[in-house]
């Protein structure tokens, strides 16, 4: 069987258990999680998230990039258009042994700068090799983004791929 065949088989099992109704546009936990696309960091497993509980944005490193900010803006606009009553928390979760840490080397500064939408001289401030500092940098970026309300709840997490444990990271 091909991988696609296996995925379709699994979907049939999911569809058989599906309640047969449309879910609310508001996630049950009123949470937006920004995390890495690394296959070792699936939030359904790491955080026990179930379908309908959170909006999950995954990208390289789980970093807050211009694309993530555009996505958050789109989500906020849809919420306004739909007149949704929200009390959302944004959670940024990075992890140890992230592939993007390899981009901390000077020879990769141009690529890292492109991902983050910054100049090559600003890449060091993204703390690619330090997940705790990187979470704090991303939380600061969200706090200073005009489209994010100043009273928005933000949280930072770091997942350890060796132990499976998640640590809370305080904002500075």
CA distances from 82 to 71, 79, 105 (A): 16, 5, 45
CATH code, residues 27-169: 3.40.1050.10
Burial class (CB in 10 A: 0-12, 13-18, 19+), 166: middle
**pLDDT score of 80 more than 90:** no
User: Count of alpha carbons within 13 Å of 53, Cβ hemisphere only?
Assistant: 8
Of 11-25, 94-108, 137-151, give the range with the top mean pLDDT: 94-108
Residue 59, H or E segment: strand 54-59
Q: Which of 33, 38, 39 is nearest to 56 (CA)?
A: 33
The structural domains of the chain, with segments of one domain joined by +, span 27-169
Question: How far is Cα 92 from Cα 132, in angstroms, rounded to an integer?
Answer: 11
What lies within 8 Å, CB to CB, of 165 at 6+ separation is 159
pLDDT in tens, 129-164: 999 999 999 999 999 988 888 788 999 999 999 999
Query: Per residue in 55-74, pLDDT tens?
Result: 999 999 999 999 999 999 99
Neighbours of 142 (CB within 10 A): 20
């Amino acid at each position: 069987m091909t991988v696609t065949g296996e995925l379709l088989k699994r979907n049939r099992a999911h569809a058989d258990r599906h309640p047969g109704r449309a879910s609310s546009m508001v996630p049950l936990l009123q949470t937006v999680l920004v995390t890495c696309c690394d296959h070792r960091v699936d939030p359904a497993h790491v955080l026990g998230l179930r379908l309908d509980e959170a909006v999950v944005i995954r990208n390289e490193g789980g970093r807050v990039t211009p694309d993530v900010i555009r996505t958050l803006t789109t989500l906020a606009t849809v919420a306004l258009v739909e007149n949704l009553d929200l009390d959302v928390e944004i959670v940024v979760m990075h992890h140890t042994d992230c592939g993007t840490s390899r981009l901390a080397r000077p020879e990769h500064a141009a690529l890292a700068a492109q991902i983050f939408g910054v100049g090559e001289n600003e890449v060091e401030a993204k703390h690619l090799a330090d997940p705790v500092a990187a979470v704090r940098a991303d939380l600061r970026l969200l706090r200073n983004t005009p489209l994010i309300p100043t009273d928005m709840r933000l949280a930072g997490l770091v997942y350890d791929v060796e132990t499976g444990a998640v640590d809370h990271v305080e904002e500075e």
